[in-house]
Structure 1
Amino acid sequence: MTSVEPVLDKDGVRLVVTDRTATVTLTGPARRNAQSPALWRALVEAGQALPGAVCVVVLRGEGPSFSAGLDRQGFTPEGFDGEPSFLDLARGTDKELDAAIAGYQEAFTWWRRSDLVTIAAVQGHAIGAGFQLALACDLRIVAEDVQFAMRETGLGLVPDLTGTHPLVGLVGYARALEICVTGRYVQAAEAERIGLANLVVPADQLDAAASDLAAALLGAPRDAVIETKALLQGATRRGYEEQRAAERAAQARRLRDLAGLGD
């Protein structure tokens, strides 16, 4: 499948599909791609709209910043047009508040699907929700001007958009705690050194580098990529012997498939 027209273009999110690669773009550069519930719903819709042939998804943001985080309008009494503010949600029942946050989190979960490899191409500010959206992807290519920061704790909140699990997995508990509680900036060189970034490139080479990586990822057979991703995702929660068994089972499936004996 080849498409030059957007599959989706709404509420600050655009999805374009070209053969086996999809590109999801945050399209609110005037507000540094600030995030809102409407944008999160559009991200969920983008994930649902992906054709089955898509193997790699690139996530990018228009303008000088990837995403500067939550749109602060959500914390005003007026909130966003047509929906409750975050302050209104706080006045609801525990069940209602939990359901609302769970719905927001859905925008950050589908990037980890085992049938996809996802790449965040990150430039400029990636703050709070922006940092967590970059962490939702499997891989991160960053521009030399990138500035990651987790500012929620300093505002009296916590990172709640699924970012804590991958952050600890990438940099370890102690460093993740320090990054979150201090709210400091993590810039490109440190991001690469501590494992947040797979690659650092000049800002004008970011899109090309993401395209090159996407092309390289498409070189391996899809079923082998899916099995490998599942093995690696499960490695931290399995013991050594469990992981050995998972490797054997995955390899058996691959060998049978290559021999024409698969289901």
Structure 2
Amino acid sequence: MSWETVTLEESEGIATITVDRPDSLNALNRETLQALEEAVGETDDARAVVVTGAGKDAFVAGADIGYMQEISTNEAQEYAEVGHRIFDAIATHDAPVIAAVNGYAFGGGCELALACDLRVASENAVFGQTEIDLGIVPGWGGTQRLSRLVGDATARRMVFLGERLDAASAAEVGLVGEVVPQAELDDVVSDLAAEIAAKPKFAMTAAKEALNQVHEMPQSAGLAFERRLWSGLFGTHDQREGMAAFLEDREPEFE
């Protein structure tokens, strides 16, 4: 499939989705949201997924303010549901999803990064839940996912005041896992995605499922969930191969 505002490239188990509207700082208009949803749906077989924005200025600068300005409450509800559906699909994707944040990540762009499993930022990246200055609040998951990464106090300042975090500050509070020079971002993320793609796929999916449950169920239920996932991997090719390779002091050959 092909789209005007989103590109999808796949190679060696890695799918790279790029929001391609650099003249609009990769803002998510309706056309781009639909393309993004379809692109995510095309990556079911990927072992790792990378999400980024085109150009050197922005990851995704936000949602389409021109569209939102005049919509009704019912239309806003539908718009929120579209965003949630897409970002939930990213958060629950079988494969780990990496956000390569190469510039501004404001509003919906910050929420897109939050929906990913890992975030790597270039030194010029800036994060912000800036919706308050538009007379609204984050509507695509920001009020829920942000505090789980950065803590309640930082999340409240970002949402209440529209405070922005540069890449170094984002790393300090746990919003991103790594900050690299902009010229090195693509290579660093490519290496990270390749390392993930080389891991056993079923075990990686199970690991993501278990980690996603941390905030969804009490610890006792989460521990029971982990036990079921762990035991269910025994007897698979990758479990047998991984343990045999360890005992034989060789590299494993996972499916």
Same fold (TM over 0.5): yes
Give the corresponding residue for 2:115: 136
Letter in 2 for 1:89: S
Give the corresponding residue for 2:47: 55
Letter in 2 for 1:67: V
Aligned-residue Cα RMSD (Å) equals 1.8
1:126 Cα deviation (Å)?
A: 0.9
Using a 3 Å threshold, how does the CA distance of structure 1 residues 100 and 155 change in structure 2: closer, same or farther? Answer: closer
Q: TM-score, normalised by structure 2?
A: 0.87
1:34 Cα deviation (Å)?
A: 1.6
Q: Is the contact between residue 30 and residue 64 of structure 2 (CA under 8 Å) also seen in structure 1?
A: no
Q: CA deviation digits over 1:184-239, x for unaligned, max 9?
A: 21011111111110110000001111101101111220111111111111022333
Matched, 1:89 2:97: no
Q: Is the contact between residue 143 and residue 159 of structure 2 (CA under 8 Å) also seen in structure 1?
A: no
Letter in 1 for 2:181: P
Match for residue 150 of structure 1 among 120, 129, 134 = 129
Matched, 1:165 2:157: no
Unaligned runs of 5+ in 2: 242-255
What secondary structure, in the 3-state scheme, does the structure 2 residue paired with 1:41 have?
Answer: helix
Matched, 1:72 2:72: no
Q: TM-score, normalised by structure 1?
A: 0.84
Matches of residues 210-249 of structure 1 in structure 2 within 5 Å? Answer: 210-249=189-228
1:36 Cα deviation (Å)?
A: 0.7
Distance of 2:113 and 2:31 partners within structure 1: 18
Aligned length: 238
Give the corresponding residue for 1:3: none
Percent identity over the alignment? 32
1:116 Cα deviation (Å)?
A: 1.4
Distance of 1:35 and 1:18 partners within structure 2: 25
Q: Is the contact between residue 141 and residue 200 of structure 1 (CA under 8 Å) also seen in structure 2?
A: yes
Matches of residues 2-81 of structure 1 in structure 2 within 5 Å? Answer: 7-10=1-4, 12-50=5-43, 52-63=44-55, 64-75=57-68
Unaligned runs of 5+ in 1: 1-6, 76-85
Q: Is the contact between residue 129 and residue 142 of structure 2 (CA under 8 Å) also seen in structure 1?
A: no
Give the corresponding residue for 1:83: none
